[in-house]
Amino acid sequence: MKLLDLTIPYEPLEKKALYDEVAKEYRFLANNTPKMRLLISTELDDKKLPDDFAQKLVNMLPALNYQLCTNHDETSFAKHIKEEQNDLPHVLEHIIIGLMMMIKNDNYHGLTMGNDRLAEIIITYNNKKLAIETTYLGIRLLNALLKREKIDLIKQIKEINRGRVLVWRKYAKKRKQERQFTF
């Protein structure tokens, strides 16, 4: 998977009127929240997923348990990775937001459009420098999983966030979700 372009900040002006009408969960596209846009290409080889891809990803990024996905009536993205894993750009969107949650650079909105070769991802952020760093780290993480390579995620997050990292606990059914996120 390759990042072809990162535009930050990004303002989808031409689509503003349309997004306003389409659905309330996409209103973030038309408000003043800072946004970035990634153009992503997916190669055929990327699609040969390791068998344990979904499980490994959730183990590395428990924050995915706390992300709601509009594709699934706003239930946890972690529950639906198996259905979504062939849409790698959409998985990347959730990975980047998950990383942002671990450094509190979150704004918790994202959208993925396009097809399985070329996709456009729009994500909101708070801090531009950290948004860029988490984007690159998200791509490194995804490519490491696809190539079955090891990656020390916590160490790399600490490197971009002055040694600090917020590790989300694994989701326990009994515990009420403390916060609500929409994508």
CB 25 within 8 A of CB 31: no
Residue 41, SS3 per DSSP: strand
Nearer to Zn ion, 53 or 183 (CB): 183
151: exposed, middle or buried (C-beta count within 10 Å: 0-12, 13-18, 19+)? middle
Residue 56, SS3 per DSSP: helix
Nearer to Zn ion, 53 or 160 (CB): 53
Helix 128-146, helix 153-160: angle, nearest 10: 160
Q: Nearest approach, Cβ of 65 to Zn ion (angstroms)? A: 13
Q: Nearest approach, Cβ of 129 to Zn ion (angstroms)? A: 25
Nearer to Zn ion, 40 or 160 (CB): 40
Q: Nearest approach, Cβ of 81 to Zn ion (angstroms)? A: 10
Nearer to Zn ion, 69 or 160 (CB): 69
C-alpha 58/C-alpha 63 separation (Å) is 8
Nearest residue by C-beta to Zn ion? 69
Q: Nearest approach, Cβ of 149 to Zn ion (angstroms)? A: 25
- Binding residues for Zn ion (CB under 5 A): 69, 183
Taking Cα atoms as reference points, which of 27, 42, 35 lies closest to residue 6?
35
